[in-house]
Amino acid sequence: MNSKISVFQFYSILFLTRLLTTLTYIPSYTKEINVSDMIFQTLFRFVFGIIIMLPVFYLQEKYGKETSAQNGIYEKTKAVIFSFVFFYFSVATVARLDLFAGTVVFPETDVKFFLLFVVAFCAYGAFLGLMPIARSAVLSVLPVVLSLVFIVFALVKKIDFLNLSPLFYNGIEPLLKTSLNAVGRTVEYAVIAVFLPFVQGNAKKGFFIWMTVQTFVTAGIFFLEATVLGNFSQMQLFPVFTLASMAEFSFFQGLETIITGVWVLCAFLKISFLLYLQAKLITDAFKVKKTHVLAVLGLLLSAICLFVSGSVERFNLVDTSAIKLILVLVSVPLLSVFEIIKRGVKKCVKQ
Amino acid sequence: MRKTVVIIACVLMIASIINRDAFKEDISKRTVVQGVGIDLNDDGTYTVTLETINTENYSNADGTASPVMNIRTLSGKTVYSAIKSAYSIDGKTPLMSQNRVIIIGKSLAEKNIIPALDFFIRDAENYPSVLIAMAETSAEDFFKKSTNDSSVVSRNVERIILTAQEDLTVSSISLCELVNRYKDGASSFYMPIMSVEKVGEKANAVSKGTAIFKNGKLSLTLNEPETVCLNFLCNKAKKGAIDISVNGVPAAVSIIKSQTMRKLDYQSDFPRFNIEIKATADLAELSDKTISSITDKDINKIETNAEIKLKSEIQDFCEKIYKVNKTDPVGLSRLIFIYYPEKYRQQKENLNEIMTQSQYNVEVDIKIRRVGQDYSS
């Protein structure tokens, strides 16, 4: 990977891609947890996030300047593992967009054409390269933040503290489970693990700022959801969308269109970026043409998503929390620990 | 930079076509629903009354225009099938996103309204902020009797309910609030009662108190003074008039601002609710024959009388709903859940019974801000 981007560009992409995960979360994964615990679990996931990223930063700190052979078996295996992780998350993102479109936007219309359209555009975005994606993310951050702030102001009047629930009412277990699920849904940890050497600037400081910002933003969204929607949010497929539909400001009513715009923008950047990473990893490891890889990935992604689009049960197959958690845990801390041991042993043998 | 512009253009294109109503059928093939009335028939089927916009509005040769709105009565085994059967009338599918109100017929209210609301929660076209009210008789009757050529019944109802912020005698509840109150331990909620009043030739929708529901069934109806108490207890009373008497003279104070603090503490096994109402008001009228100026002494008297009146009415209201009717439309039992979760866990099975044994202490503090133009210091 030769492309390099600045810390701000990198974390701008990650801010938007992680925001997408929050905006599109489905409460069926968090049914056991009370609405107030949802706010609190953001702190737990912050801690879990730091813990699983420790080996990645240690590896970067200790061996960051050393380069390893791109064509080694280990490097190829690593490229395949990460590509699979990114591909799985790409499928999950498109499937979620499909579920949203098919349930909320055009429930009575076949959305298959729309899916193909999105995948084709995202593959094209990935083909254009890293810089356009990074610049688009930087340009998008301000409008996205302003849109969210506008929605927050439009919801303030609807806050009802009687909708809150006592903390840890169902014990700490659902809270830990939900936090771990959230960690599993954060493909950005795997992105950082792969991309860290190619970020110019203080990536460690950027990581802490990104983690803090996304924790606050997520906690803020969950706070509004808890106080405005209360338990009603647990009965909605996409509660953040429902929340936006409750927003009223002057003559503006139902601001869900803004959320839809933010959602599509973030989804486009996320899928494009993940496709770009997959193409780059495979191209570097196996010396194949980027266009060919993107074409194959695009076709594969379209085929799987068209299959998944058929029923909501199939959606569960590609959006399973446990699989996502395993993928993130294997690709981020375990692989990093393995690499630390491998490099340590190699150093000892040399000495 | 060119590539960045291409990416942003792609995103904007997708975002613009994916908004809520895009990609849907042509609007001329949809019936825009403004209000829905639901009645339950004896055989268990639903009669759904839809108030829809007449998109094929025309003028007749004699100069008379066709009505602005259409009222359709449909039936089905479920609310959804009844609404969908509108298609067979004119080949148009109902568009629910513009629905303002759901009017529940009395027959349904007496059985259980919860099953009839599922469609409005499940279907993404419906908004959770849609308002809910109960008709004094049947919902079909309400729509048919209160309709006239120039007005939209649902819009009138929406306006009346939304004046709850300005008029203490009107209560209001949205679908989202109703579901939350129902899912609480006490399973009680309320909704305004709508009726039809005929003034000369014209019939209009009017608010006639509040209906209290327990476990989805109509349990009690409140008159307008009781609705004022409900609004204060729910912290929904923001503005409105209160009639009092000063030395036997009728007077009216206009509430400008009000805040209700609901606190809770436990005395042995039973909770004690401390309700503090702080309001700022203006003296709107003192129907005194002598038209004398208001002095500071009078202001104190007006404040005290207003406080005493409101306090005793709210206290009586608590007695009625909690101790006699055993319901909790205000949601005070939720405070037990929030502040004493362990007690709630122990008592949630017989929460309504616990609420009958509870104490309700009401404190009212009204400050008169202005007395109008006739003031003598």
pLDDT at B150 over 80: no
Q: Is residue B5 part of a domain?
A: no
pLDDT at A46 over 90: yes
pLDDT at B250 over 90: no
Tens digits of per-residue pLDDT, A136-191? 999 999 999 999 999 999 999 899 998 999 988 888 888 999 999 999 999 999 99
User: What is the DSSP code string of B25-76?
Assistant: PPGGGEEEEEEEEEEE-TTS-EEEEEEEE-TT--B-TTSPBPPSEEEEEEEE
Lowest mean pLDDT among A146-160, B19-33, B133-147, B330-344: B19-33
Shortest distance, CA A5 to any CA of chain B (angstroms): 15
Q: Looking at beta carbons, which residues of chain B come within 8 Å of A154? A: none
Closest by CA position to B189, among listed B274, B104, B265, B258: B104
Per-residue confidence (pLDDT) for residue B136, from 0 to 100: 93
In percent, how much of chain A has pLDDT > 90?
58
Provide Rg for chain A, Cα atoms.
20
Q: Which of B14, B176, B339 sits opposite A246 (nearest CB)?
A: B176
Rounded distance between C-alpha atoms, residue B373 and residue B377, angstroms: 12
Task: Report domain extents, chain A.
Answer: 5-64+71-350
Mean pLDDT along residues A45-58: 94
Q: Looking at beta carbons, which residues of chain A come within 8 Å of B179? A: 231-232, 235
Q: Looking at beta carbons, which residues of chain A come within 8 Å of B328? A: none
Tokens 């469609």 label which residue? B119
pLDDT band at B249 (very low <50, low <70, confident <90, very high): confident
Alpha-carbon dihedral of residues B77, B79, B81, B85, nearest 10 degrees? 110
Shortest distance, CA B192 to any CA of chain A (angstroms): 19
Residue B69, domain extent: 25-222
- By C-alpha distance, the chain B residue nearest A121 is B10
Q: Looking at beta carbons, which residues of chain A come within 8 Å of B337? A: 165-166, 169
Q: Between these two residues, B69 and B117, which has the higher pLDDT value?
A: B117
How far apart, in Å, are the Cα atoms of B236 and each of A160, B170, B171?
Answer: 11, 10, 8
Q: To which H or E segment does residue A125 belong? A: helix A112-128
Shortest distance, CA A316 to any CA of chain B (angstroms): 19
Q: Is residue B17 part of a domain?
A: no
Per-residue confidence (pLDDT) for residue B349, from 0 to 100: 85
- By C-alpha distance, the chain B residue nearest A124 is B7
Q: Is residue B15 part of a domain?
A: no
Q: Between these two residues, B249 and B58, which has the higher pLDDT value?
A: B249
Taking an 8 Å cut-off on Cβ atoms, the answer to whether B7 and A133 are in contact is: yes
Residues 6+ positions from A40 with CB-CB distance below 8 Å: A167, A175
Please answer whether residues A310 and A170 qualify as being in contact, where contact means their C-beta atoms are separated by less than 8 angstroms.
Answer: no
Q: Looking at beta carbons, which residues of chain B come within 8 Å of A131? A: 3-4
Rounded distance between C-alpha atoms, residue B225 and residue B241, angstroms: 11
Taking an 8 Å cut-off on Cβ atoms, the answer to whether B331 and A162 are in contact is: yes
Per-residue confidence (pLDDT) for residue A70, from 0 to 100: 57
Same domain, B258 and B281: yes
Q: pTM for the whole thing? A: 0.89
- Using DSSP, state whether A2 is helix, strand or coil: coil
Q: Between these two residues, B187 and A335, which has the higher pLDDT value?
A: A335
Q: Which of A131, A139, A229 sits opposite B8 (nearest CB)?
A: A139
> Which of A168, A225, A232, A255 is best to mutate for the B interface (most B CBs within 10 A)?
A232
Rounded distance between C-alpha atoms, residue B8 and residue A30, angstroms: 34
Helices A73-100 and A112-128 cross at an angle (nearest 10°) of 140
Tens digits of per-residue pLDDT, B79-115? 999 999 988 887 888 888 889 999 999 999 999 999 9
Q: Is residue B355 part of a domain?
A: yes
The partner residues of B65 in beta bridges, in order of sequence, read: B59
A100: how many CB neighbours lie within 10 A of its CB? 23
Q: Which of A104, A125, A236 sits opposite B7 (nearest CB)?
A: A125
Same domain, B211 and B229: no
Q: Between these two residues, B289 and B328, which has the higher pLDDT value?
A: B328
Shortest distance, CA A258 to any CA of chain B (angstroms): 9
Same domain, B114 and B256: no
Taking an 8 Å cut-off on Cβ atoms, the answer to whether A260 and B24 are in contact is: no
Per-residue confidence (pLDDT) for residue A197, from 0 to 100: 85
Per-residue confidence (pLDDT) for residue B239, from 0 to 100: 87
pLDDT band at B18 (very low <50, low <70, confident <90, very high): low
Residues 6+ positions from A107 with CB-CB distance below 8 Å: B124, B125
Please answer whether residues B203 and B197 qualify as being in contact, where contact means their C-beta atoms are separated by less than 8 angstroms.
Answer: yes
Same domain, B217 and B282: no
What are the structure tokens assigned to B19, written together?
């908004």
pLDDT band at A74 (very low <50, low <70, confident <90, very high): confident
In percent, how much of chain B has pLDDT > 90?
50
Per-residue confidence (pLDDT) for residue B251, from 0 to 100: 87
Taking an 8 Å cut-off on Cβ atoms, the answer to whether B10 and A121 are in contact is: yes
Shortest distance, CA A136 to any CA of chain B (angstroms): 6
Mean pLDDT along residues A50-77: 81
Q: Which of A107, A133, A254 sits opposite B124 (nearest CB)?
A: A107
Same domain, B102 and B162: yes
- In the CATH scheme, what is the homologous superfamily, with its name and number, of domain A5-64+71-350? Amino acid/polyamine transporter I (1.20.1740.10)
CA B307 to chain centre: 26
Domain count, chain B: 2
Shortest distance, CA A294 to any CA of chain B (angstroms): 17
Tokens 């509840």 label which residue? B173
Please answer whether residues B42 and A173 qualify as being in contact, where contact means their C-beta atoms are separated by less than 8 angstroms.
Answer: no
Same domain, B90 and B199: yes
Q: Is residue B3 part of a domain?
A: no
- By C-alpha distance, the chain A residue nearest B125 is A104
Q: Between these two residues, B61 and A308, which has the higher pLDDT value?
A: A308
- By C-alpha distance, the chain B residue nearest A103 is B124
Averaged pLDDT of chain B: 86
Closest by CA position to B80, among listed B125, B137, B13: B125
Per-residue confidence (pLDDT) for residue B200, from 0 to 100: 75
Per-residue confidence (pLDDT) for residue A61, from 0 to 100: 86
- B240-246, strands of its sheet edge to edge: B240-246, B249-267, B270-286, B359-370
Taking an 8 Å cut-off on Cβ atoms, the answer to whether A166 and B338 are in contact is: yes
Same domain, B177 and B83: yes
Shortest distance, CA A71 to any CA of chain B (angstroms): 31
pLDDT band at A266 (very low <50, low <70, confident <90, very high): very high
The length of chain A, given as a count of residues:
351
Mean pLDDT along residues A46-50: 95
Same domain, B185 and B243: no
Same domain, B256 and B372: yes
Rounded distance between C-alpha atoms, residue A65 and residue A197, angstroms: 8
Q: Which of B23, B334, B341 sits opposite A162 (nearest CB)?
A: B334
Q: What's the CATH number where B342 sits?
A: 3.30.300.210
Please answer whether residues A59 and A340 qualify as being in contact, where contact means their C-beta atoms are separated by less than 8 angstroms.
Answer: yes
Same domain, B123 and B269: no
Rounded distance between C-alpha atoms, residue B352 and residue B185, angstroms: 8
Taking an 8 Å cut-off on Cβ atoms, the answer to whether A105 and B22 are in contact is: yes
pLDDT at B32 over 80: yes
pLDDT at A109 over 80: no
pLDDT band at B124 (very low <50, low <70, confident <90, very high): confident
Q: Between these two residues, A94 and B295, which has the higher pLDDT value?
A: A94
Q: Looking at beta carbons, which residues of chain B come within 8 Å of A261? A: 15, 19
The partner residues of A205 in beta bridges, in order of sequence, read: none
Lowest mean pLDDT among A225-229, B52-56, B111-115, B121-125: B52-56
Residues 6+ positions from B268 with CB-CB distance below 8 Å: none
Same domain, B233 and B368: yes
Taking an 8 Å cut-off on Cβ atoms, the answer to whether A105 and B7 are in contact is: no
Q: What are phi and psi of A100, to 5 degrees?
A: -65, -50
Tens digits of per-residue pLDDT, B278-323? 999 998 888 776 666 777 788 888 899 999 999 999 999 999 999 9
Averaged pLDDT of chain A: 89
End-to-end CA distance of chain B: 73
pLDDT at B360 over 70: yes
Tens digits of per-residue pLDDT, B174-213? 999 999 999 887 789 999 999 988 877 778 888 999 999 9
B63: how many CB neighbours lie within 10 A of its CB? 6
Q: Which of A106, A245, A257 sits opposite B23 (nearest CB)?
A: A106
Same domain, B266 and B323: yes
